[in-house]
Amino acid sequence: MNKFVLPLIAGVGASITIGFLLYFETTFENSTLIMAPFGATVVIVFGLPKSPLAQPKNVILGHLITAFIGVFFVQFIGVSQIDLAIATGLGVSGMLLTKTTHPPAGANPLLIMMSGQSWLFLVTPVLIGAVIIVLMGKIMQIFQDRFVVKC
């Protein structure tokens, strides 16, 4: 039974969370709450919730560290092929050094640099979106622990 139930719950949790972010993005004028790496984040948070890569510290700080590097490059260094490569490598090193590895966040420097984002991008979508994903993941985990395990 759990062979089918757990993946279904993970998919529902991911769908609700991304839908929630998209809904509020369109509801609040001039807000961005979604970015492509969040698609991969929900796979880990909902599909592998016990993984070290899915833990709140990793999700939130992994995204923030790599996003900071991307914005820093946009604002102070530049965006060339070599800059994209160096920023991505720095993001990987930064996550590993701080023990906040979250693989989807590895895409942040590329996304941010190629789209020329500003410091505000660190707050929305990065911080707010990552926190919402973590909170929804915890809510779904509580639901799963209380109701699904008993089935």
Q: pLDDT confidence of 150, banded at 50, 70, 90?
A: low
The pTM of this model reads 0.94
pLDDT above 70 coverage of the chain, percent: 96
Q: pLDDT confidence of 30, banded at 50, 70, 90?
A: confident
Determine the Cα–Cα distance for residues 98 and 83; give it in Å rounded to an integer. Answer: 22
Model pLDDT for residues 53-69, shown as the tens digit of each residue? 999 999 999 999 999 99
Report whether 113 contacts 87 (CB < 8 A): yes
- Over residues 41-59, the mean pLDDT reads 97
For 117, the 3-state DSSP assignment is coil
pLDDT at 20 over 90: yes
Q: pLDDT confidence of 6, banded at 50, 70, 90?
A: confident
- Residue 146 has a pLDDT of 80
Model pLDDT for residues 97-130, shown as the tens digit of each residue? 999 999 999 999 999 999 999 999 999 999 999 9
pLDDT at 139 over 80: yes
Integer-rounded Cα Rg, in Å, for the chain is 16
- Residue 105 has a pLDDT of 98
